[in-house]
Amino acid sequence: MRALAHWPRERYLELAPKYWAATQARLVAAELDAEVGELTIPEPLAAPAEEQSSLR
């Protein structure tokens, strides 16, 4: 939930349980472990073609 305040609105799906493990692996662990402070948001991963078409 800490990432939600810093995350771009159009990329909230990356924080869903289905994608959280992949997203968490791309975050800076020290920033995520800190109680407060900014998070460095990684570049978005390209979603598989079938998921992109279902999001439209």
Q: Please tell me the predicted confidence (pLDDT) of residue 48.
A: 55
Q: How far apart are CA 19 and CA 55, in angstroms?
A: 15
Least Cα distance to 8 among 22, 23, 25 occurs for: 23
Convert the pLDDT of each residue in 12-55 to its tens digit. 898 899 998 998 888 888 877 777 777 777 888 776 555 555 55
Q: Please tell me the predicted confidence (pLDDT) of residue 6.
A: 79
Q: Please tell me the predicted confidence (pLDDT) of residue 52.
A: 52
Q: Please tell me the predicted confidence (pLDDT) of residue 50.
A: 52
Name the phi and psi angles at 34, rounded to 5: -70, 145
Q: Please tell me the predicted confidence (pLDDT) of residue 17.
A: 93
Q: Please tell me the predicted confidence (pLDDT) of residue 55.
A: 56
